[in-house]
Structure formats: C-alpha cells, structure tokens
Amino acid sequence: MTDTPKNPFEAMMQQARDMARSFNPALESFSPKGFEALWPTMPKDVMELMFGNAVNKGGLDAKTRLLLTLAGLTMQGAQAEAALRQTVRHALAAGAKNQEIVETIGQMSVFAGIPAMTRALELAREVMGVENEDDEA
C-alpha cells in the first residue's frame, strides 16, 4: 500500500514537504509565526511619518489608518494571518486600545461575517495577550 495522495492539491503539498525535507530537514517543522519576529514594530513617530498625517496635515493619523487596515484584513476573511497580527501590533504601538481593536473587528462582522470576525479576533487576541496584558480598555 502506498501513501499516494488522493487529490492534486495533496500531491502538490506532499511534494513540497518532501522537497523541503531534502533541502533542510529543519524546514519540515517551519512555522511562519516565528518568522514574524524578524520585523519589529515601528516607532510611533515613524508610523506617523509613513502612515499618518505628517505629510498630509489634517489627514488621518497612524492609529486610524491602522484600524482601517485591520478592518480591511478582517473583510478579506482574516486569511493573511501574519499581516493581521502585525497590523494589531502596529496599531497598539500607535496608541490603539484593546477595546478599539476589538470594536474595529466586531464592526466588520456585519460585512465580512461571523467566521471572519471570529478568526480575526483570535489572531488579535494572540497579540494583545502577549504585548498588552495590562490594557483593560
């Protein structure tokens, strides 16, 4: 009896695992979550310069822009897990409170559906629980 996959996707994934194992056995247990640690959170001043109203006086600040980005990532079904976690991390650094992040994601349940909202909240809580345990609101 063979371990031949039954569908083309399973076959492709098995081939990728076999190839990774042959290149480097450690790649077999690679997790993208550990990879996120390579990108530190930007300082608030840098975020304001790049994403905030430093150039566009009177425009949206970095916190608001990041909450809008979080809403968009939730609308996409919270499929871009690393991007969603990084956005939450940056929003916290830009001054967003846990409650503002939860409300932003919750608002998207009306448009994206409960499963997308639930997944986004799970990912956000991973970040908020690690980095912002003291923040009650």
Residue 131 burial (CB < 10 Å; 0-12/13-18/19+)? middle
Residue 40 burial (CB < 10 Å; 0-12/13-18/19+)? exposed
pLDDT of residue 31: 65
CA distance 119 to 130: 17
- On the question of pLDDT at 121 being above 50, the answer is yes
Indicate the pTM of the whole model: 0.66
Domain-located, residue 22: yes
- How many domains does the chain fold into? 2
116 — pLDDT class (breaks 50, 70, 90)? very high
Taking Cα atoms as reference points, which of 29, 11, 33 lies closest to residue 21?
A: 29
pLDDT of residue 130: 58
Domain that holds residue 23: 1-30
Residue 4 DSSP code: -
Domain-located, residue 39: yes
Domain-located, residue 40: yes
